[in-house]
Structure 1
Amino acid sequence: MLIGYMRVSKADGSQVLDLQRDALLAAGVDPARLYEDHASGRRDDRPGLAACLKSLRPSDTLVAWKLDRLGRDLRHLITLAHELTGRGVGLRILTGEGAAIDTTSPNGRLMFGVFAALAEFERELIVERTRAGLASARARGRRGGRPYKMTPAKLRLAQAAMGRRDTGVGALCAELGVTRQTLYRHVDPGGRLRPDGERLLRHRRGDERMQGALPGTGGPEGDNRHG
């Protein structure tokens, strides 16, 4: 049986599910088997997705319009797909970058394996680059921030490292120069952002936008000249 899931980011009516619903119905999903959410993909409390996952039975296939309708990030999607496979449930993506994923077919499973390998490769690159940056800072007498302070660079490393089974929390805290309390205030044991972590990255993006808007910094007013 095909089970469909749809999501839009806003609940204020400015976004609609019509395109996703039409695609899922065209793929053969029964209208009575459609689940939906009006929430950001980064939120954990998505009742529609929770109900959808609970309804799945062995031999069912979960169908979504695009990969980003389902998960918070690629790692979350891969974890979800592995969990579904363990339950005997298939996953099919209709369009977008993951359109070749269909874990009910050999070719679709192959493409999913490629996506999983790329996600692991990306995670390893993040870990390697951040550790190299911290080591370079220590060699110059810097710790990459005040003691026990989490920075965006450290947070990215923490996200990548906490998603790995072989990561020792104590060693990671020593590497980052933060306490366990600081680490767990920003990320959970699976590497997902907690409210403090989301605020840190949100503030960083806000600072970058403000710098870009200042005259002389490359923003829209930075090239104003008189005469």
Structure 2
Amino acid sequence: MIIGYIRVSTEQQSMKNQKHKLLEYAQINKLVIDEFIELEISSKKSQKDRLLDNIFEKLTNGDIFICTELSRLGRNMLEILNLIEKFNELGIKLIFTNQPELSTNKNEALSSLLLAIYGYFAQTEREIISERTKQGLAAARASGKILGRPKGVKNKVRILDPFKEEIKKYLEIGLMQTNILKLINSKLEKDISLTTLRYFISTDTDLKII
């Protein structure tokens, strides 16, 4: 049995595009997708709400689970790696159409190694950012600075707000922030610094937990 999994978090994302990529891959590789699971739900919801538990009940050894990329499975690398380990334990093959090097249907050993590397660097990067943020706040308090936005100051649109979902996607797949910076700067008229990107991530409630 082959199940195609399609999940979007916001209306701005497209189920149609994801489904097209899965069908295109299946056609090229002469596969027949028996069932599609399509849902609009945040990655912050439980695995049960995202119907992943239901998928584990349907698929057995030798079956295939196909989706576009790692980020469709969860909101952080630790959760994603745990899910992949469960798929492997049950003998279910994984196909990521946008990240074929991570698919387990052909070279399981290589994909496991790459996923472990992704997870390690993603976690290390988060720990470094968290520690630097804590140190910066502690230094600011020690110097007597008042933290937070002054009363009466309205929220302003930040330069990276239009790229928030894109940045979130990169963080979810474990892309290093130096590489994210290059991708974002290629779309800006004026380059931003790595410090600006890190501050944006660390101060945005939707991004700093990734």
Distance 1:18 1:106, change over 3 A: same
Secondary structure at the counterpart of residue 31 of structure 1: coil
Count residues with an aligned counterpart.
Answer: 149
Q: For the residues of structure 2 that align with 1:28 and 1:50, how far apart are their CA atoms?
A: 27
Q: Percent identity?
A: 27
* Counterpart in the other structure of 1:101: 102
Q: For the residues of structure 2 that align with 1:72 and 1:43, how far apart are their CA atoms?
A: 9
The farther-off stretch of 132-141 and 23-32 is: 23-32
* Counterpart in the other structure of 2:79: 76
RMSD value, Cα: 3.7
* Counterpart in the other structure of 1:7: 7
TM-score by structure 2 length?
Answer: 0.54
**Per-residue deviation at 1:115?**
1.2
CA contact (8 A) 1:4 1:24 kept: no
Distance 1:73 1:25, change over 3 A: farther
**Per-residue deviation at 1:202?**
6.5
Whether 1:35 aligns to 2:41 is no
Secondary structure at the counterpart of residue 72 of structure 1: coil
Q: For the residues of structure 2 that align with 1:114 and 1:203, how far apart are their CA atoms?
A: 24
CA contact (8 A) 2:102 2:114 kept: yes
* Counterpart in the other structure of 1:21: 23
* Counterpart in the other structure of 1:131: 134
Whether 1:58 aligns to 2:61 is yes
TM-score by structure 1 length?
Answer: 0.50
**Per-residue deviation at 1:99?**
2.8
Q: For the residues of structure 1 that align with 2:14 and 2:61, how far apart are their CA atoms?
A: 36
Secondary structure at the counterpart of residue 34 of structure 2: helix
Distance 1:108 1:2, change over 3 A: farther
CA contact (8 A) 2:41 2:50 kept: no
Secondary structure at the counterpart of residue 39 of structure 2: strand
Structure 2, unmatched stretches of 5+, are 150-202
**Per-residue deviation at 1:101?**
0.3
Per-residue displacement from partner, 1:140-170 (whole Å, max 9, x unpaired)?
A: 2458569xxxxxxxxxxxxxxxxxxxxxxxx
Q: For the residues of structure 1 that align with 2:9 and 2:37, how far apart are their CA atoms?
A: 15
Residue identity matched to 2:25:
A
Structure 1, unmatched stretches of 5+, are 147-199, 205-227
Residue identity matched to 2:60:
R
**Per-residue deviation at 1:106?**
1.9
Distance 1:49 1:12, change over 3 A: farther
Secondary structure at the counterpart of residue 100 of structure 1: helix
Distance 1:143 1:64, change over 3 A: same
